[in-house]
Amino acid sequence: MRRDAPQKGEIGFIANDRPEAQEAFRALTDVYGNAERGEAKVIVALGGDGTMLDVLRDTMEHNVPVYGINCGTVGFLMNPLGDIADLPRRIATADKATINPLYMEARDKDGKVHTAHAINEVSLIRQTRQTARIAIKVNGETRMGQLICDGILLSTPAGSTAYNLSAHGPILPINSNLLALTPISAFRPRRWRGALLPYDAEVTFVVQDPDFRSCAATADSFEVRNAVEVTCRIDRQRRMTVLFDHGTGLEERILREQFED
């Protein structure tokens, strides 16, 4: 659905430190100004996918639509810079995707509880040369008594083309209402490739022998060292809106990713 094009002073721009992003920031703010965070009708993130994830986390409380412009490398969540003068029209006609983040609660070996949100995935990875040994619970019921591995991750549909895909996990359609549970270099069970879980599943990872086989829990880029128990679930109370140039929305990108090298 077409929305009103943002006017000068209604767009907030956030750029990473890369020279390309800073150059685009200067050019765009010269034309459109730079709205304060609480007053912007739309946020434009300048950088790569990492910048987009940071901006989405920072604006999560207010669910201001975010339009990304690629000044990085992969840019799966981003749009091309294009003609600066055409930016308001592109935003007005953009396809939107609504994303719920994962909520992570991780307890470390000292008993301290850490919380964070992840847009892509929550992962648990060994910290030492020893393999990790992890028990997996789904909705409070133990589904795997021991997974011997380098780690494991739980991915959202939006994040299924990121770390999850590198770990040979499945790509999930954005509206699939599924989560991908994917092992990282599983040794035992040797042929276990992971599982697809309902969107409302609560998953708990329990680290076995944490003093000898320590693990770090990560919610996107937020890391908890020496985690002993990690619980994660979708936070339906928080929504983020990502804008893509018309015809290149997230659903199309995820579908295309499955047929390209």
Give the annotated binding-site residues for NAD(+): 49-50, 120-121, 150, 158, 161-166
CA distances from 170 to 110, 139, 160, 224, 245 (A): 35, 22, 7, 26, 25
Minimal CA–CA distance to 213: which of 158, 160, 151?
151
157, 176 contact by CB (below 8 A): yes
Residue 86 among the catalytic residues:
no
Q: Please identify which of the residues 4, 49, 58, 211 carries the catalytic annotation.
A: 49
Alpha carbon distance 88, 85 (integer Å): 8
Question: Please, which contacts does 160-163 make with residues 24 or more away whose CB atoms are closer than 8 Å?
Answer: 160/254, 161/76, 161/253, 161/254, 161/257, 162/49, 162/76, 162/120, 162/121, 163/120, 163/121, 163/123
60, 37 contact by CB (below 8 A): no
Minimal CA–CA distance to 258: which of 184, 153, 193, 169?
169
Give kind and range of the element (H or E) at residue 91.
helix 87-92
Tokens encoding 47: 């950088």
124, 207 contact by CB (below 8 A): yes
Distance of alpha carbon 61 from the chain centroid: 16
Give the catalytic positions in this structure. Answer: 49
